[in-house]
Amino acid sequence: MAVVNYEKEGRIALMTINRPEALNALSAEVSGELREAMIDFRDNPELWVAILTGAGDRAFSAGADIKGFRPGPREGPAGGTGEVVRADKIWKPFIAAIHGYCLGGGLELAMTCDIRIAADNAQFGQPEINIGFLPGAGGTQRLPRFVPRAVAAEILLTGDRIDAQEALRVGLVSRVVPRDQLMSTAMEIANTICTRAPLGVRACKEAMIRGYELPLEEGLALEREKVAECRATEDFMEGARAFVEKRPPNYQAK
Ligand code: CAA
């Protein structure tokens, strides 16, 4: 059985980590299949937005597969599965639909997504410190950039978890919804993004992600570069024409 279900619904790619019996722990096999799905999503012109979630009712993902830990240097992709999104320059948006446990590498993976929404039963944490380890897939770097530093330090250094409401309060997720509305909400957000000009969406994501790391002047220069690229697309004028003609735009990703 595949450990990642990869489905396509119109323009939306749905990636579901499918090891519910192990709380969707990220084994090497999961990482491999997830990477394959992500690369297919990146390269498939029919797909515009991806949703990432976990099978079953207990977890988005409880993190790296502890049972697979071996002494010595780590095997697999540097920086963990989530880094595929960055390393392979996937500028199409990812939405993480999080329920249950979202721990360790699971939270690190969710933090490589652009939009995080949570079910009311979600719990977040970086428990690596509890097992003599530290986050190794971006957690020590992204968490303090995503939530207030004192909150990040407490999560990272105690290994304690926070619930969905606290995650919302500190800005780790943008919405909390009842568990049974998680996927419909994720689909609704994905569908909304799919009505926007796809090349504009990708340029916007790239400017946002790369811009985080830059001084303001360089970030603004990057934005100007992306604006120039966007103005050269057919969809740029389609958006303007549709506005003037008072009709919905028909974007072609060109
Ligand atoms: N790796 C491998 N197996 C895991 C797992 C993980 N991260 N998390 C849970 N499982 C397995 C359990 O071993 C158990 O399997 P068995 O039935 O074969 O024993 C099954 O999933 C169900 O889990 P529990 O019985 O433990 O369920 P629980 O409700 O008692 O506890 C939990 C839930 C608190 C999340 C607990 O499972 C737990 O603490 N898991 C580990 C979380 C963790 O430490 N994650 C960080 C991993 S390190 C990492 O991610 C490094 C990195 O930066 C990339």
Judgement on whether residues 214 and 189 belong to the same structural domain of the protein: no
Contact 137, 110 (CB under 8 A): no
Judgement on whether residues 185 and 230 belong to the same structural domain of the protein: no
Examine the fold and report which residue of 194, 212, 228 is the final residue of a domain before the chain moves on: 194
Q: Which atom of ligand 1 is nearest to the CA of 103?
A: 45
Judgement on whether residues 121 and 10 belong to the same structural domain of the protein: yes
Cβ neighbors of 55 (< 8 A, separation 6 or more) are 5, 16, 17, 18, 19, 20, 24
**How far is Cα 47 from Cα 41, in angstroms, rounded to an integer?**
6
Judgement on whether residues 176 and 210 belong to the same structural domain of the protein: no
pLDDT of residue 71: 78
Examine the fold and report which residue of 194, 215, 237 is the final residue of a domain before the chain moves on: 194
Furthest-apart CA atoms within the chain: distance in Å: 64
Q: How far is CA 203 from CA 13, 83, 210, 226, 232, in A?
A: 19, 19, 10, 6, 12
Task: Look at the chain and report how many structural domains it folds into.
Answer: 2
Q: Can you give the CATH number for the domain in which 206 is found?
A: 1.10.12
Judgement on whether residues 61 and 112 belong to the same structural domain of the protein: yes
Q: Which two tokens stand for residue 226?
A: 């992306």
pLDDT of residue 70: 80
Residue from 66, 75, 98, 155 whose mutation best tests the ligand 1 pocket (most atoms within 8 A of CB): 66
Instruction: Give me the sheet containing 123-125, strands edge to edge.
Output: 59-61, 101-103, 123-125, 162-163
| Residue 216 falls inside a structural domain | yes
Q: Which two tokens stand for residue 114?
A: 């652009």
Catalytic residue among 29, 46, 75, 108: 108
Q: Which atom of ligand 1 is nearest to the CA of 66?
A: 1
Cα(209) to centroid of ligand 1, in Å?
A: 31
pLDDT of residue 62: 97
Cα(117) to centroid of ligand 1, in Å?
A: 22
| Residue 72 falls inside a structural domain | no
Judgement on whether residues 8 and 93 belong to the same structural domain of the protein: yes
Instruction: Determine the distance from the C-alpha atom of residue 34 to the mean position of all C-alpha atoms in its chain, rounded to a whole number.
Output: 12
CA-wise closest residue to 64 among 139, 5, 1, 116 = 139
Per residue of the chain (254 residues), give pLDDT as tens: 699 999 999 999 999 999 999 999 999 999 999 999 999 999 999 999 999 999 999 999 999 999 988 877 666 555 566 666 666 689 999 999 999 999 999 999 999 999 999 999 999 999 999 999 999 999 999 999 999 999 999 999 999 999 999 999 999 999 999 999 999 999 999 999 999 999 999 999 999 999 998 999 999 999 999 999 999 999 999 999 999 999 999 999 99
| Residue 143 falls inside a structural domain | yes
Reduce the DSSP state of residue 49 to 3 states and report it.
strand
Judgement on whether residues 103 and 185 belong to the same structural domain of the protein: yes
| Residue 187 falls inside a structural domain | yes
Looking at ligand 1, which residue's alpha carbon is closest to its atom 40? 62
Contact 53, 14 (CB under 8 A): yes
Catalytic residue flag (residue 33): no
| Residue 253 falls inside a structural domain | no
Judgement on whether residues 208 and 153 belong to the same structural domain of the protein: no
Judgement on whether residues 30 and 102 belong to the same structural domain of the protein: yes
Q: What is the pTM of this model?
A: 0.95
Reduce the DSSP state of residue 94 to 3 states and report it.
strand
| Residue 94 falls inside a structural domain | yes
pLDDT of residue 72: 75
Cβ neighbors of 187 (< 8 A, separation 6 or more) are 9, 12, 51
Q: Can you give the CATH number for the domain in which 27 is found?
A: 3.90.226.10
Examine the fold and report which residue of 194, 216, 234 is the final residue of a domain before the chain moves on: 194
What domain range is 232 assigned to? 198-245
pLDDT of residue 82: 61
- Which residues is 50 bridged to in the sheet? 13, 94
pLDDT of residue 77: 53
Judgement on whether residues 125 and 202 belong to the same structural domain of the protein: no
Catalytic residue flag (residue 108): yes
| Residue 142 falls inside a structural domain | yes
Find the residues whose C-beta lies inside 6 A of ligand 1: 22-23, 25, 62-67, 80, 101, 103-105, 108, 127-128, 131, 133, 135-137, 139
CA-wise closest residue to 14 among 82, 88, 97 = 97
Cα(61) to centroid of ligand 1, in Å?
A: 9
| Residue 123 falls inside a structural domain | yes
Judgement on whether residues 177 and 221 belong to the same structural domain of the protein: no
Judgement on whether residues 25 and 122 belong to the same structural domain of the protein: yes
pLDDT of residue 183: 98
